[in-house]
Amino acid sequence: MTELRLNDTQRTALDALIAATRPLSAYDVLDALRATRPTAAPPTAYRALERLIGLGLAHRLESINAYVACCAEHTDASPLFAICDDCGLVDEVSDHDAVASLSASAGRSGFAPKKSVVELHGVCAGCQRGAA
Ligand SMILES: [Zn+2]
Ligand SMILES: [Zn+2]
């Protein structure tokens, strides 16, 4: 179990990400850590998040500078996210074909892709229904 490799801080950070229905900023995670460690400082939150990302338990969304728990089964470092700009909902999509196709396109010009984080921005199904 990967959980056994987490210390208390990392576990608390992961629990906060899993409990959240929206992506969390590093400061949201820091707030969660301070519930049990009032003296926790920002580097503590960043280190815990880096560790979770390294273990594949969480992802950083570059375009909105926030973090989510990994909710898909994938062994490569190429997640794909659909981000709702209205409500902030993030859906992790497992589509290896899409990522493989992007890598192949880049590879044709001699580029050697190592990892990718694809982030699609738009409006989720729930928000579209609400607007109708
Ligand atoms: Zn993931
Ligand atoms: Zn939405």
In the chain, the number of structural domains is 2
- Using CA atoms of 29, 46, 115, 121 in order, give the dihedral in degrees to the nearest 10: 40
> Which domain, by its residues, includes 20?
2-69
H or E element that contains 129: helix 125-131
Q: Identify whether residues 56 and 93 lie together within a single domain.
A: no
pTM attached to this predicted model: 0.83
Answer for the pair 12, 57: CB distance below 8 angstroms, yes or no: no
- The whole-number average pLDDT for the span 31-44 is 95
> What CATH number is associated with residue 24?
1.10.10.10
CA distance 66 to 22: 9
Q: Which carries the bigger pLDDT value, residue 116 or residue 41?
A: 41
Q: Who surrounds ion ligand 2 at CB < 5 A?
A: 84, 86-87, 89, 124, 127
91 in a structural domain: yes
DSSP assignment, residue 5? G
Tens of pLDDT, residues 73-129:
776 657 889 999 999 999 998 777 888 888 899 999 999 988 778 899 999 999 999
Ligand 1 mean position, distance from CA 39 (Å): 30
Q: Taking the CA atoms of the chain, what radius of gyration do you get in angstroms?
A: 16
- CATH of residue 108's domain is 3.30.1490.190
Q: Is residue 74 part of a domain?
A: no
How far is the centre of ligand 1, averaged over its atoms, from the C-alpha of 79 (Å)? Answer: 6
- Asked if residue 3 has pLDDT above 50, the reply is no
Identify whether residues 63 and 91 lie together within a single domain: no
